[in-house]
Amino acid sequence: MGIRTRAMTGAVVAVVAVVAIRSLPGDPASPPATPVATTAAAVPQAMGQVASDDDATAASLPIPSHLRGVAVDGGVDLDRNGSLIFNRKLKNLFHHMIGMAEGDPARLSGVRESLRTWLLEQATPATARDEVMAAFDRYMTYLEAASHVQLPSQSPGDLERVYQTLALLRRQHLGQVMAEGFFAEQESLDRYTVEQRRVLADDTLSPDERKQRLDALAQQLPESLSRPLAQTRKISQLAQDTESLRASGASQEAIDRLRTERFGPEAAERFRALDQQQAHWKQRLVSYQAERDAIRADSSLAPEAQARAIDELVARRFSGTEVVRVRGLGNY
């Protein structure tokens, strides 16, 4: 695996890492997750600029086969002067391109060129195209740096330090304008999360006082965050009530009725399908872990042979983003 591919792999896992830090145990607005920190051997500078060809040559590049016919999430906006606007669309475009690689090393090495080819297909002006590619390089370097950030605990103090570290890394690698364009809403949510944890950890508050403070915090968020947050809290409350029903021995029909009352029959069906998917994934993971542990316990295999056997096992049992998920969960 080349240096550029290793760097790209580290950045893909970094996306998982940063997202995992967002969804922390104990947060009623978030599902349980485990923060991930990766050690990447790649040097970010190795992802440096690819020399630009002239438009005639570049325009002849074909769209990679795995991108053909796929609707691209995100896009490129320019201001009246033709300069690049750093917004959610651009960030989504970067994540879409990274995600299309599905953790496949053969595709990871071509992510940057896939983005460049897509820009050409969209007839993006040359100057703006160069801006996008430079922004992508900065973003990948940021993701690589962010992948090394670790969360010691879920305490408000540790959370605040992690969020401050990420905010600093963004401004170091992206610059102030790009950092705010990509992460302004996220950083508002980060501040909310820290204060929310402080309220939840305050044993001097009564249940009513705690609810009032949490509601007041939520009202300080911009509408783009407060509305989905309210929906997330409803889903989180449903999850808690569902677990209570299961613990009391309630039937699946009773759980379905609760879900239907809260969110309607179609959503109840989706929740049930998700239950089945999660149960199937857990079965696969348990089966893999048992076979992996057997390999590790085989004293006839040298450490290098064990590592190769586990790599082969992962390749047989999982594909694409599942591999990233297994690694991110610490099960590799």
pLDDT digits (tens, 9 = 90+) for 211-248: 899 889 988 888 888 888 888 888 988 999 999 999 99
Which one is predicted more confidently, 288 or 26?
A: 288
Q: Which of 46-55, 58-67, 68-77, 86-95 has the lowest mean pLDDT?
A: 46-55
Which one is predicted more confidently, 164 or 7?
A: 164
CB atoms within 10 A of CB 301: 14
Residue 174 confidence (pLDDT): 97
Tell me what the mean pLDDT of segment 272-282 comes to: 93
Q: What are residue 202's phi and psi, to 5 degrees?
A: -85, 100
Which one is predicted more confidently, 229 or 209?
A: 209
Nearest Cα residue to 101 out of 181, 11, 191: 11
Tell me what the mean pLDDT of segment 26-45 comes to: 33
Q: Are 221 and 189 in contact (CB under 8 A)?
A: yes
Nearest Cα residue to 193 out of 34, 37, 23: 23
- Name the residue type at position 161: R
Distance between CA atoms of residues 185 and 85, nearest Å: 16
Residue 331 confidence (pLDDT): 59
Which one is predicted more confidently, 73 or 220?
A: 220
Tell me what the mean pLDDT of segment 317-324 comes to: 84
Cα→Cα distances 56→52, 140, 256, Å: 11, 28, 59
Which residues make Cβ contacts (< 8 Å) with residue 52, sequence separation at least 6? 58, 126, 130
Which one is predicted more confidently, 155 or 52?
A: 155
H runs (alpha helix) in the chain: 3-22, 55-58, 88-100, 105-108, 111-121, 126-146, 156-173, 176-201, 207-219, 223-247, 252-263, 265-297, 303-317, 321-328
Q: Which of 85-89, 303-307, 323-327 has the lowest mean pLDDT?
A: 323-327
Tell me what the mean pLDDT of segment 180-209 comes to: 92
Which one is predicted more confidently, 124 or 229?
A: 124
Nearest Cα residue to 102 out of 193, 208, 16, 222: 16
Distance between CA atoms of residues 60 and 171, nearest Å: 36
- Name the residue type at position 169: L
Q: How many CA atoms lie within 13 A of 211 on its CB side?
A: 4
Residue 63 confidence (pLDDT): 44
155: left (phi over 0), alpha (psi -120 to 50) or beta: beta
Q: How confident is the model at residue 276 (pLDDT cuts 50, 70, 90)?
A: very high
What angle (nearest 5°) sits at the alpha carbon of residue 135, between those of residues 4 and 84?
155
Q: Are 20 and 33 in contact (CB under 8 A)?
A: yes
Residue 88 pLDDT > 90: yes
Q: What are residue 122's phi and psi, to 5 degrees?
A: -85, 5
Chain center to CA of 240: 24
Residue 41 confidence (pLDDT): 29
Distance between CA atoms of residues 49 and 45, nearest Å: 9
CA terminus-to-terminus distance, the chain: 19
Residue 4 confidence (pLDDT): 45
DSSP for 230-291, please give it: HHHHHHHHHHHHHHHHHHTT--HHHHHHHHHHHH-HHHHHHHHHHHHHHHHHHHHHHHHHHH
Which one is predicted more confidently, 140 or 51?
A: 140
Residue 323 confidence (pLDDT): 83
